[in-house]
Amino acid sequence: MDFRIRLFLDSIIETVNQFSDIPLEARRLVLESTMKLVEKKADEAIIAQRTAVEAKNAESISEDKLGELSE
């Protein structure tokens, strides 16, 4: 996985460098905008994971309570 992360980073740097005709500040602004979009998607993924875990935990608690009722 570490290799894939490094490859990802190198790929981004290479892509940015391919557009040397665009001012560096403009490239920085594009990267910043992209980062905000990626952060938003990451937040959505984290919320979805948290919701799934909470739903699973709620299901486990319900099953435990049913077990108590049947005793």
Each of the 71 residues of the chain gets a pLDDT tens digit; together they read 999 999 999 999 999 999 999 999 999 999 999 999 999 999 999 999 999 888 888 777 666 666 666 55
pTM: 0.68
Distances in whole angstroms, Cα of residue 71 to Cα of each of 35, 60, 61: 54, 17, 16
Domains in the chain: how many in total?
1
Q: Judge whether 14 lies within some domain.
A: no
On whether residue 54 sits in a domain, the answer given is: yes
For residue 1, being part of any structural domain is answered with: no
Q: What is the pLDDT of residue 15?
A: 97
Q: Range of 60's domain?
A: 24-71
In a domain, 60, yes or no: yes
pLDDT computed for residue 32 by the predictor: 98
Q: Is residue 64 part of a domain?
A: yes
Nearest to 57 by CA among 70, 42, 45, 65: 65
Residue 42 lies in a domain: yes
| Residue 2, domain member (yes or no) | no
**Tokens of residue 28, six digits:** 């920085």
